[in-house]
Structure 1
Amino acid sequence: MTDSPDSNSPRTVTVRPATGEDIDQLVRVSRSADTAFHAAGLDLPPDDPEEEFRSSEWLLVAEVAVDGTARVAGFATLLDIGGGQAHLAGLGVHVDHMRRGVGTTLLDAARSQARDRGYAWLTLTTFRDLPFNAPWYRRRGFSVVDSVSLTPELAERFRLEDEGSGHAAPRVAMRRALR
């Protein structure tokens, strides 16, 4: 399949577990994905995506074929936060591959893996008002968890991720049942 990164044509997306050899490409994807937040008016504090990828419990990579070569286009990082909850700690897509189904494919793969590993819920925290955050997840079956219903584990993840984002904008915790 021959595609240019700017093409709007459909692409074949393959999801696989990450390897150590993917780290440099994953850092590039993460930094590219962060530019979408800047374009939306959010200035997030600097982070170290390399450290996050190296320490992640479970990391999925999305590849697309571009000019006959598989290229890393996105990632999903997941954590076991306890209480039957797999937590989507990060989902990122390179800007050249956004709005082409890569994120949805990654999210579907993350849900499937979490379900297959016996988790009851897939949780996440995200920015409430950005169209490519909470509204995007809502359209994919996630619902907002009010502060009274937060499990202790999800409340702690929310606190950590809100602090990590520098409180740049209002955030919400969300979840989706897997069974």
Structure 2
Amino acid sequence: MEIREATVAELATLPALESASDSIFAELGFPPLPPPGSPDELAAARLVLVAGSPPAGFARVEVVDGNAHLEQLAVHPAHFRQGIGTSLVRAVLTWARTAGFPAVTLCTFADIPWNGPFYRKLGFTEVADPGPGLRELRAHEQALGLDDLGARTVLRHPLTAS
């Protein structure tokens, strides 16, 4: 499936895709997660990559503490377990390396299989001492109540020039 930058028209469709993707958490007994980002927030992101046309998944990237930060990864449930999430993460890593970022970071649930363990399989490791931007993101997540749903972690994937 082709991975490319989202078009302006596609940005309006991505909040519904994110909501559909988040529905899998209900299977774990989670209450509804915070609402998805708006099309305006997506338009302001450093990068939004999509998989397919119409998009079956997307990755939203910001810049935090001088690193590319994977703010959101979402795949529509109709396309789960087809390698789309992996392809999107690898595309983010390639983009960030080409753009000269030293690493890609993210915040996620530590133990849910399609969160922490998924990213660890792709080479992400725990961040022992997050920078100020990541600490601010974690405080925001705590204020939203995400820590009440399960252990959260900050992960980092170092990048080297290819």
Q: Paired residue for 1:33?
A: 21
The answer to whether residue 137 in structure 2 is matched with residue 157 in structure 1 is yes
Q: CA RMSD in A?
A: 1.6
Describe the shift of the 1:89–1:164 C-alpha distance in structure 2 as closer, same or farther (beyond 3 A): farther
Contact 2:19 2:36 in 1 (8 A): no
Contact 1:18 1:60 in 2 (8 A): yes
SS at match of 2:153: strand
Contact 1:144 1:172 in 2 (8 A): yes
The aligned runs of 1:88-127 (5 Å cut-off) are 88-127=70-109
The aligned runs of 1:1-179 (5 Å cut-off) are 13-50=1-38, 51-63=40-52, 70-83=53-66, 85-146=67-128, 149-164=129-144, 166-167=146-147, 168-179=149-160
| Structure 1 residues without counterparts, runs of 5 or longer | 1-12, 64-69
Q: Which has the higher strand share?
A: 1
State the shift of 1:169 in Å. Answer: 1.6
Contact 2:126 2:154 in 1 (8 A): yes
Alignment length, in residue pairs? Answer: 158
Contact 1:162 1:171 in 2 (8 A): no
Question: How high is the TM-score relative to the length of structure 1?
Answer: 0.81
Contact 2:107 2:153 in 1 (8 A): yes
SS at match of 2:143: helix
Structure with greater Cα Rg: 1
Deviations 1:24-47 (A, max 9, x none): 321221111010111122224431
Question: How high is the TM-score relative to the length of structure 2?
Answer: 0.89
Structure 2 distance, partners of 1:152, 1:37, is 29
| Structure 2 residues without counterparts, runs of 5 or longer | none
State the shift of 1:150 in Å. Answer: 1.4
Structure 2 distance, partners of 1:101, 1:165, is 30
Describe the shift of the 1:55–1:165 C-alpha distance in structure 2 as closer, same or farther (beyond 3 A): farther
Structure 1 distance, partners of 2:145, 2:115, is 14
User: 1:163 is matched by which residue type in structure 2?
Assistant: A
Contact 2:126 2:155 in 1 (8 A): yes
User: 2:157 is matched by which residue type in structure 1?
Assistant: R
